[in-house]
Amino acid sequence: MASLPTGSLESLRARNSRLVIDVLRRQGAVSRAEIARQTGLSRSTVSSLVTDLQDTGLVHEREPDASRRGPEGGRPGVLVALDQSAGALVGIDFGHDHVSVAIANLGYEILAERTIEIEVDDAAAESLDAAAALALEELKGAGVEIARVLGAGVGIPGPVDRKTGLVRSQPILPSWVGLDPVAEMQDRLGVRVHIDNDANVGALGECTFGAGQGHRVVAYVRLSAGIGLGMVFDGVPFRGAHGIAGEIGHVLVDPNGPICRCGNRGCLETLVAGPALCELLRRSHGELTVAQLLQRAEENDPGCRRVVQDAGRVIGRALADVCNYLNPDAIVIGGQLATAGELLMEPLTAAIEQFALPAAAEGVSVLPGVLHERAEVLGALALAGANSAEALTVQVNTMSQTRRST
């Protein structure tokens, strides 16, 4: 039987290494037998790959819990785990009026985190420069060399064309149109960059670290200056063919309603986003910020409470359709308006129960987000982490080849 060419063997080994690393990244400390079960690789292959990873310093052994029994009642096998200090991850969240950066090790332990205020929508180049400078500054402060960074995850407040990588939304991010944000950030940082819209990275954040943990099909709703929907199926964001999936803020609610920035009338965002709610109160309450509106609602101001409750009903009606279309087992409510708590959640949940199919409504848990304003930057870290297995594999192959040549 003819043997595989050397290049094919190396490619196969790299693929198998990536499978092992991905299990270790997701599961933490596991036995070699469990790695074999999850990857479908033979135990001898797993053992050989783990040895390579140990030789390069990326994996170490850990003694099992002595109180636990093995599968046949014997002593449990030795566990292996990634060395969390073997690499670092960068998360960057571009909001409409801020940039947030977080630095973490491979175990998602936060090493540094910081937010600055900056106008993002109309100042793309300046925002990208500021984000890169902030990331490099925080890496330096955390004592992390750029060579150790396996990748950066980036969330932006608008859709990215999945085929071209370009920002296409003139009404939402006018100065970003035609930009390739991945290439722009890679040029500035010198590391691999992975990008998604802010609702999807917020969904990843809540699914990885927050209220969405343990759920298979999660819809994350971000209620702030705009309204977005991020969807995660079995840990993977659903983006649609061109990256436009989840633009629930532009679902038609009132055909005779206000003109939206997208050019249509009566989009959900024009009626229940934070600025729209403040505009409803301008005649009776004067100029308000969203934070002031929510504070007055908490203090039992009847007008402020009314607009929040009405918003909950309208949002819930739109989410009832999401339940019918996608049948999520969890809907997580995040963003600034979510801090209104039960004042928003009660009418929102009631509208879902009223307008969704009974089976869809009964099968979904409607949950408040727990990460609040950090959901997007932590989700950006999760995005970087989800793509770190490939970068780690490159490290392993490079180290192994260097070791063999010497």
Name the least confident of 7-11, 35-39, 139-143, 374-378.
7-11
pLDDT at 398: 63
pLDDT in tens, 277-293: 999 999 999 999 999 99
Name the nearest CA neighbour of 364 among 378, 352, 381, 376: 352
CA–CA–CA angle 119, 224, 371 (5° rounding): 100
At residue 110, the pLDDT reads 94
Burial class of residue 313 in the structure, from the number of CB atoms within 10 Å of its CB (0-12 exposed, 13-18 middle, 19+ buried): middle
pLDDT for residue 4: 39
* Confidence grade of residue 403 (pLDDT, cut at 50, 70, 90): low
pLDDT bucket at 226, cuts 50 / 70 / 90: confident
Residue 391 has pLDDT above 80, yes or no: no
Q: Which distant-in-sequence residues (6+ apart) come within 8 Å of 356 by Cβ?
A: 319, 320, 321, 323, 324, 364
Put simply, whether the predicted model's pTM sits higher than 0.85 gets the answer: no
Write down the pLDDT at residue 285. Answer: 95
Q: Is the pLDDT of residue 1 over 90?
A: no
Give the Cα separation of 224 and 77 in Å (integer). 49
Amino acid at 91: G
Domain ranges of the chain: 6-82, 86-202+377-389, 213-370
d(CA 94, CA 376): 9
| pLDDT value, residue 55 | 81
Asked whether residue 241 carries a pLDDT value surpassing 50, the answer given is: yes
Q: pLDDT tens digits, residue range 180-191?
A: 999 999 999 999
- The pLDDT score that the predictor gives to residue 3 is 44
Please state whether 284 falls in left (phi above 0), alpha (psi between -120 and 50) or beta. Answer: alpha
C-alpha closest to that of 151 among 379, 381, 376, 375 = 381
CATH code of the domain occupying 6-82: 1.10.10.10
Is the pLDDT reported for residue 224 higher than 80?
A: yes
Do 98 and 155 meet the contact criterion of CB atoms below 8 Å apart? no
Rounded to an integer, the average pLDDT of 369-390 is: 90
CATH number of this structure's domain 86-202+377-389 = 3.30.420.40
Average pLDDT over residues 231-247: 86
Rounded distance between C-alpha atoms, residue 266 and residue 264, angstroms: 7
| pLDDT number for residue 239 | 87
Determine the pLDDT at residue 67: 52
So what's the pLDDT on residue 9?
Answer: 59
Contacts of 227 (CB under 8 A, 6+ apart): 221, 248, 249, 268, 269, 272, 273, 315, 335
Q: How distant, in Å, are the alpha carbons of 221, 326, 349 from that of 233?
A: 15, 10, 22
- For residue 156 the two structure tokens come to 């932006």
Say whether 213-370 and 86-202+377-389 share the same fold: yes
Q: What is the pLDDT of residues 198-212, one digit of tens each?
A: 999 999 999 999 999
**Homologous superfamily of 213-370:** ATPase, nucleotide binding domain (3.30.420.40)
Hey, how many other C-beta atoms are within 10 angstroms of the C-beta on 271? 20
Does 367 score more than 70 pLDDT? yes
pLDDT in tens, 54-89: 887 788 887 766 555 554 555 557 898 888 777 899
* Per-residue H/E/C for the chain: CCCCCHHHHHHHHHHHHHHHHHHHHHHCCEEHHHHHHHHCCCHHHHHHHHHHHHHCCCEEEECCCCCCCCCCCCCCCCEEEECHHHCEEEEEEECCCEEEEEEEECCCCEEEEEEEECCCCCCHHHHHHHHHHHHHHHHHHCCCCHHHEEEEEEEECCCECCCCCCECCCCCCHHHCCCCHHHHHHHHHCCCEEEEEHHHHHHHHHHHHCCCCCCCEEEEEEECCCEEEEEEECCEEECCCCCCCCCHHHCECCCCCCECCCCCECEHHHHHCHHHHHHHCHHHHCCCCHHHHHHHHHCCCHHHHHHHHHHHHHHHHHHHHHHHHHCCCEEEEECHHHHHCHHHHHHHHHHHHHHCCHHHHHCCEEEECCCHHHHHHHHHHHHHHHCHHHHHHHHHHHHHHHHHHC
Question: What is residue 205's predicted lDDT score, i.e. its pLDDT?
Answer: 95
Q: Mean pLDDT in the chain? A: 88
* Percent of the chain predicted with pLDDT > 70: 90
Percentage with pLDDT > 90 across the chain: 61
Which carries the bigger pLDDT value, residue 170 or residue 216? 216
Query: Above 50 in pLDDT, residue 146?
Result: yes
Quick one: pLDDT band at residue 165, thresholds 50, 70, 90?
Answer: confident
Give me the pLDDT at residue 402, please.
Answer: 57
Give the model's confidence band at 134: pLDDT under 50 very low, under 70 low, under 90 confident, else very high. Answer: very high
d(CA 235, CA 40): 20
- Mean pLDDT, range 375-384, rounded to an integer: 95
Residue pair 297/304 in contact (Cβ under 8 Å)? The answer is yes
Q: How confident is the model at residue 129 (pLDDT cuts 50, 70, 90)?
A: very high
pLDDT tier at 236 (50, 70, 90 boundaries)?
Answer: confident
> What's the average model confidence in pLDDT over 43-57?
86
Counting every residue written for the chain, the total comes to 406
